[in-house]
Amino acid sequence: MTYILQHLVSLLLPVTVLIIVPLLIEPHMVPTSGFQLVAGLVVVLLGLFVMAQTILTFIRIGKGTLAPWSPTRKLIVGGMYAYVRNPMILGVITVLLGESIAFGSMSILTWAALVFLINTVYFIFSEEPGLEKRFGDEYREYKRKVPRWIPRLRPWKPL
């Protein structure tokens, strides 16, 4: 599979989580009006910004994709990763929260909570042990210094 095709295929995951599933669980979405709609759109844009920055970091620094079947070849500790270990999923959850606000949807809010729980379990039992095997002490130090979900106020820099 070509490099560009790998990146396009890796976008299937966020497209499914952010667009397809919300449309399936909330097929007749109607945007709210006024402040709630604007607030939701601002939150969506914030999440998309975090996702875009993360994807660019994956490509530029990690030399891989965001998909588990085509992981990065290098441990990424810069960019958004200097603040939080899982900025991509944090961006995804932020977009879902924005969608739930913009559409006034408890179903999408519940989906966001489920995405958070599924990813937390996946990270604890699969991804983090795999990263420890691949990157050893470098990852263990990063894991000790950078939180999984709540971003640091200042970026972490390895010694």
Q: Which of 25, 122, 10, 108 is nearest to 55 (CA)?
A: 10
Half-sphere exposure of 94 (CA within 13 A, CB side): 21
What digits encode the pLDDT tens for the residues 27-71?
A: 888 888 899 999 999 999 999 999 999 988 887 776 666 666 666
Q: Tell me: pLDDT of 1 over 60.
A: no
> If you classify domain 37-63+76-153 with CATH, what class do you get?
mainly alpha
Chain center to CA of 116: 10
Q: Tell me: pLDDT of 8 over 60.
A: yes
Token pair for 82: 């200097």
Name the strand (E) or helix (H) holding 36. Answer: helix 34-57
Q: Using CA atoms, how far apart are residues 98 and 42, in angstroms rounded to an integer?
A: 7
Predicted TM-score of the model (pTM): 0.90
